[in-house]
Every structure is written in C-alpha cells, then in structure tokens.
Structure 1
Amino acid sequence: MRYPAAETAERHQKILVEASRLFKERGFGVSVSEIMKATGLTHGPFYNHFESKEALMAECIAHSADGALVELDAAGETPEGMRAYVRDYLSHEHRDARADGCLVAAFAGQAGSAQGVSTSLTTYLKSVIGRFAGNFPWRTKKNARGDAIRMLAAMYGGVVLARAVDDEALSEEILREVLAGLQALPKPTDT
C-alpha cells in the first residue's frame, strides 16, 4: 500500500528525530528495530526510507546539524548571546541531556565507524568553526579561526570528559574549569 507523499515525509522525519535522539543517547549500536519501535512503526518500512542503517546515521547527523546551526545562528546575533551559548554548553543540564545535546560530543568518537558519518560530521564542524570565528567576540579577528578551533575543542572535550566520569563532583569540576579557562580569555577591545 502506498502512502501519500506528505505522510511518507512525516514518517521519514519521525524516524530521523527518534534515531537522532537514540543515537546521541546510546551510540550507533542502537538497532533499526529499536528505532522503528520508538517511532511507533514496524521494522519493515525502514528500507523504504533509508538505504541502510549507515545512511540513516549520516542523515541523522545532517538533521541534528540543521537544528544546532539554527540555535548557534540565533546566539551569534550578539556577543552576549555567544557567551551565553558557551556557558549553556558547559552546563550540567547540557551534560545530562545526551539525547537532546551536542552531536559532536555524541558522535565524534564513533565517526570512523560508518560510511558517511565522518563526512556529515566534518561538514557540520566546518560550519560551526566558521560561525564561531565570525561571531564570537574575539579580542582580535587576526587569529579568530584558530581561536574558534581551540575554544570548540575545549568545549567538546569538556562535555565528553564530564559525561565519561562516574564522579559527580569531578564532572562538575571539569565543566567549571573549562568554562573558567574560556572566560579568562582576553575580552574584545571596544572599537
């Protein structure tokens, strides 16, 4: 039985949303059956939407990236918005929200494991670096790209480490110290 195009697109989107959430929360080991069950669909129609699980994984990164870039663009409208973005990123709320959190922190360690995943992640990361280089209130724009890469590496690494430990106090300390180090960077000069 064929479904109307709008219904098919809606189901495709639902699969992407649920798969993105599950992959961020539990990694790429989540089965197709688990994903389809989370969407309320049976396993059968999966291949009507995706060529393979690897294709779904790559598309999930692109899907998550779209939403994340919208959020980053909104933050980039003001210097304080960018500073708030960094503070929010390095918070225990973000650390604890794996399923709704950062795709880089969730997927970077698994990037080489599946075809298309590294390409999707690379495309996203290039966009984020460009936005941080252009929108963050750097002291000078001379080294903005390098500064952006260092800042993002600290942010991503801080969240990954904070999630990895089973000691709440240490986890909080990691987030706090990474944020303090980033906030200690020289402030932009007024021009």
Structure 2
Amino acid sequence: MRVSKEAAAASRARIVAAASRLLRERGIEATSIADVMAAAGLTHGGFYRHFGSKDDLVAAALGAAFAGHAERFAERRAAQGAQDALRAYVEEYLSPEHVARPDRGCPVAALGAEAGRGSAEVCAAFARGVEETIARFVSAAPPGTDAAAARAAAIRRLATMVGAVIVARGVGPGALGEEVLAACAETRDRAPTP
C-alpha cells in the first residue's frame, strides 16, 4: 500500500520529534533506532523509508532540537526585544527545570561530548546549531558593540551556560548543583563585553 506524501512527511516528523527527545534524554549511543520508532508509534521496518542511517536521523533530530530553541528565542525577541529575550533564555537555561529535563533542553548540554565523537554528518549538524545559537546571542548585543567582541562574549556565555548545566546534572539534585547554577547565573545580567 502506497503512503501519501503528506502521511510520509507526518511520519518522518514524528520520528524526528521522538529522536530529538530520546537522544537528549539518553544520549546517542544509548538510543537505538528501535527505541525511536517505538516512541514514534511506528514499526522498526519503516525507518529506512525515511532515513539512510542512524547518523542521518541524529542530524535531523539535532536540527529539530536547535530549531525549537531558536523558535522560542524568536518569539521572546518579538515580544520583549533582543536583550530581554536573551536574559529570559539564560534564566531558563540555568534553571533546575532545565537540568532535570534534558529531553526538552539544549542539545549542546545534552549531546555535545557525543556529537564530537560522531560522524562528519552529526558533527556538521551540531556545529550548525551551535553557530546559530552564537548568532542569536550576538544579535542581542547592545548597539555599537564590536562584532568580534560580541562573538567572543557570546561564545563565553554559551560555554559557561553549557558547563553549568553539565556539572549540575553530573552532581545530581541537591545543594551543589543549585550552587553551580547560581554561580553561573551572573551571565544573564552581564552585557556581552570583550
């Protein structure tokens, strides 16, 4: 039985959404194609109608995860302005809720180490997402900020945020994780500076 293009696109979107969530929750190596297909409500045999390989799926899932963060930032930017949107993003990022829910969180904090050991396709998808994140941070720099200085500040901010979340997840719930988040939260109040 032939599946319509619309049904195939809907199935692919379900697979990508399930993969995006599971990969961030469990990691790349710990998430199988069978896990993703079951979470999407589809049979394992249909996977190769949509993707050429697991790396193809991981790249698509990374793209979707980064796109979700970009959409939320864009919505905030439209409603609040660039600098307030960035402050809200940083506050949400450095929250206990983000630490507790990697499946909904930033793919950099959830998958950075694994993506770096992945295929060229996975690394490229990850790098695109990181570049887009840096560009969003740069776009929130105060008017007149030197472009190179704004980019360097954006990279420092992202690295601080990601590191804080990784450490807070690593130490588990409790006072130390909260202390790590609080110590790094000052990035939300600092304007990008060289």
- Using the size of structure 2 for normalisation, the TM-score is 0.89
Match of 2:89 in 1: 85
1:184 positional shift: 5.7
Question: Would you say 1:10 and 2:16 are equivalent positions?
Answer: no
Match of 1:44 in 2: 45
1:167 positional shift: 4.9
Taking the aligned partners of 2:192 and 2:23, their CA distance within structure 1 comes to 37
Unaligned runs of 5+ in 1: none
Cα deviation per residue 1:75-119 (whole Å; 9 max; x = unaligned)?
Answer: 334122221111111000111111111011111110133221110
Taking the aligned partners of 2:37 and 2:54, their CA distance within structure 1 comes to 12
Match of 1:175 in 2: 181
Question: Would you say 1:118 and 2:123 are equivalent positions?
Answer: yes
CA RMSD of aligned residues (A): 1.8
Task: Specify the code of the residue in structure 2 equivalent to 1:161.
Answer: V
Cα deviation per residue 1:10-57 (whole Å; 9 max; x = unaligned)?
Answer: 000000000110000000121111111111111100011100111101
Task: Specify the code of the residue in structure 2 equivalent to 1:102.
Answer: C
For 2:44, what is the secondary structure of its paired residue? coil
For 2:45, what is the secondary structure of its paired residue? coil
Match of 1:54 in 2: 55
Pairs aligned (count)? 186
For 1:41, what is the secondary structure of its paired residue? coil
Unaligned runs of 5+ in 2: none
Aligned residues: percent identity? 36
Taking the aligned partners of 1:63 and 1:83, their CA distance within structure 2 comes to 23
Question: Would you say 1:97 and 2:101 are equivalent positions?
Answer: yes
Match of 2:140 in 1: 135
